[in-house]
Structures are given as structure tokens and as C-alpha cells.
A = this chain, B = another copy of it.
């Protein structure tokens, strides 16, 4: 509790600083009796090693950062990020690491945060949410000396470490399902169009249509930005064109879009069917349950941390890649026959669903 240092413990135990250090760091080369004696004194005095001193001497801070650029500023509007953060935090706990959160709000923040990230002695590594193509922060950080893992496919993939879900085939399976169900006028509400996420999901959409020999009506593609209101607005534009099914690139936008449909007095899925993306917990508690692509958000965060720590410990060459799978969850909004399956997003933190690494 108080201001004891290693040296004080050493004196109390009648050993050297080195020995106490060994005990604190669980080094094997300490006699059993000595270890016990030192441990007891540490216990009694409530000694805690000073983190800064330890970092300075060991060149390790045991901290990693999670950076959300401002181009992704839909940040806490979309439950995606909280879930991700939860996964990251969970994994950090398992690895005895501390998580630092950098939410970039504006240009000023960006200038101020960048050096903090690049500074040595601060972070052992960091996770960077992939943003838009014109993201300057991204460009500045990408050449960082400290290990960096990008969340989501970056624009410039060359020798960048990243982790992502397979957005293309995920979107493809969603749209194929709609086609299989017989919908004729299938529309799409995109995410922020300069994000790779949105681009990949659109690619999946196009692939599914092409494979089915369908023409794409470009007027049935409306632009959103992953937010609820953008989904609502996009749907308002689409409604006069009478689409019979919509692939929304996120659940939150699907919810906004469905709000627009209901306001117009139309039925879901009777008049307009929906498939979303994310499988947020809310998808299964909506009045009309949302058919959507399940992506393991929390798990994604955990994997990201695991990979980053691996990079920190074993180096970043060759560049690391990891692509996680998704799964189409069929519920009520797509019409056809409904197969129910509870979402497990929220439950992941609990109990034994997630085994800790040994």
C-alpha cells in the first residue's frame, strides 16, 4: 500500500534485491525456504512493484491499445464496438495485460494521440480498427515500429497484419438465400462506402446475383453508413422503387430500414423481406426476428488480442493474417420457413463457453 520498494523488501528479508525480484517474477532459481520467506514479507507489507520502473527496465509495459479512428465514429452508436471491446478486454485479462482505449474524436485528438501510440515505453502493441480509405491516422500509424494488428481488411494490404471475417462469402450467402427464396427485386443498403467492410459485402452481393444470373438494378442500392438513421433514410429512398427484399449491411441499419417500412404501413417479410449482418443480440428479440449473418464479434476481439500478443512475443514476420467464419442465421424477416437459433453473443463472456488458454 505504502511506498515500499524492492530494496526495502530485500532488507526485511535479509536477501538481495535480485532475489526479491526473482520471487516477484516467479523465476525458478530461488531456494524454497527463501522464496517462502520473501513471499510472506511481500504479503504482509502489501508490496506492489512499481509499474513504470519495471517497464523501463524490462522494455515491456504489458499494455496494449485499441484504437478507433474517427472515420469510424459511428463508434458507440453501433453495438458492434462495445461487443468487440468486451472481447478485447476479456482477452487482455486472460493475458494479464492492460487495455488502453483510444477513441479518436476529431482532428485534434488525432494529432495528439498519434505520438502517444508511436512512443516507446507506452504500449507493447496495438489493435487498429480499419477505417475509410482516406484515413490519415491509419497511414501514419501503419509504419509504426510497435507491433500493430489491423481489425478488418485494410486498404493497403501489403505486409500489414490484419484479422477480418470473410465478408464476401458471408454477404454472398445472405443474398443467395434471398434469391433462393424467390425474391425478384433485391435491394441493398450499404455501409460507409469507403470502408473495406462495405466494399467486401457489396462484392458478395454482386457475386451472388451474378451466380444466379440476375441483373443488378443500381437504383436498388442505397448508401448508408452503418447507423440506424442511415438505414431508415436509405429505405425511405428505396421504398418507392418497390423492392421485395433488402440486404442491409448491418443489423442496426436493417432495424432502421424496417422502421421505415413499418411507418409506410407495409408488412415484413410479406411486402419487404430483410437480411441483416452482425447478429447482434437484439436481432433475436425484435418483434419480427431478424434473419442475419452471424459474425463472432466478441470472439473476433479475443482472437485479435491473441494474435497481437503472439506478434509481440514472436515477431511480426511474416505478416499475419486471420480470417474468421460467419454463419447465416435464418429467422423471420426473410420469409420462408423460420429456423430458430438463439444468439450467443452476450453469453460468450459467461461460464465455460470460452475456455481460457492454459
Contacts and interface: CB of A to CB of B under 8 A. Distances in A.
Q: Which of A51, A77, A82, A83 has the most CB of B within 10 A?
A: A51
Interface in A235-266: 256, 259, 262-263
Contact of A100 (B90, B99, B115): B99
Contact of A50 (B56, B96, B99, B104): B56
Contacts of A51: 55, 61, 116, 119-122
A102 B101 CA distance: 10
Interface in A26-64: 48-56, 61, 63
Contacts of A99: 100-102
A181 interface: no
Interface in A157-195: none
Contacts of A81: 82
A122 B287 contact: no
A302 to B, nearest CB: 11
A229 B344 CA distance: 14
A233 B229 CA distance: 29
Interface residues of A, number: 63
A12 to B, nearest CB: 18
B85 A109 contact: no
B96 A53 contact: no
B82 A120 contact: no
Nearest to A346: B77
Interface in A120-176: 120-122, 143, 145
Nearest to A1: B145
Contacts of A1: 118, 143, 145
13 contacts: A1-B143, A2-B145, A3-B120, A50-B119, A51-B116, A75-B86, A76-B85, A89-B101, A89-B102, A98-B116, A99-B100, A99-B102, A100-B101
